[in-house]
Amino acid sequence: MRLLFLAIVSFTLMAPTVAMSRPVSYPGGWTVMTMHEGLRNSAHVHYSPTAKTSLGYRFEYWPDKELTVHAFQINKLLKRWNKTESQANFYLKSGIGVSYSDFGQFDNKSGSSVFTGLAVDWEDRRRFISYENRLTEIDGIDDFFQQSTRIGWAPYQGDYGDLHTWLMLQIEHMSEADQDYTVTPLIRLFKDVHLIELGLNNHNKFLFNYVFRY
């Protein structure tokens, strides 16, 4: 029943809307992302038919779980608050697909998978804070809940077209993981259509994220 509920939530929030958010891009825009983090490696390519909705393919590999996920993902901007010196965003990110496991008793087993989660962020020219969660259910293999938060500070204010720099701290929690809390200091650099993040967490695992928008 929970799988059905998550699927309904994911696909009933696809009505076209008009505002713009970072997980969505501009109408007609494409985004390519690759994320290499402690618990998960992923790649995501999505297209934005409107300024509030993006649709795309997501790949994930969880080394500790020996789990591979292929999913069709929807990002949906639910609300944006624009202020004179700041902005905040609230959105839903969900997906449905298939997964494959090589782990223990689930060796060579496949199952349908569904995930959904809410995310919110606030920022001005010098400060940033965000929170995100996700519930994942994989039929007959696994289900888990994860959440993360970030705080960030920009040491300088760049103009349009400059290289922008943010210093951030990310804290992740996943109750069933062997190391349930992960703390990662990182640096974010972005210029034009490129964004790179580099960090090292408290378990001595590197973080490398790259986002390209066009």
Full pLDDT tens readout for the chain, 214 residues: 454 444 444 444 443 333 333 688 889 999 999 999 888 999 999 999 998 999 999 999 999 889 999 999 999 999 999 999 999 999 999 999 999 999 888 888 999 999 999 999 999 999 999 999 999 999 989 999 999 999 999 999 988 889 999 999 999 998 776 668 899 999 999 999 999 999 999 999 999 999 998 8
Tell me the helix, strand and coil percentages in the chain, rounded to 5: 5, 60, 30
135/87 Cα distance (integer angstroms): 26
Q: What is the pTM of this model?
A: 0.84
Positive or negative: CA dihedral 37, 176, 167, 90: positive
Matching residue, tokens 């997964």: 99
CB 36 within 8 Å of CB 203? no
* Strands of 2-141, DSSP E: 30-36, 41-47, 53-62, 67-82, 86-101, 109-124, 127-138
CB 51 within 8 Å of CB 24? yes
CATH number of 2-213: 2.40.160.40
136/8 Cα distance (integer angstroms): 14
Q: Which helix (H) or strand (E) holds 8?
A: helix 2-11
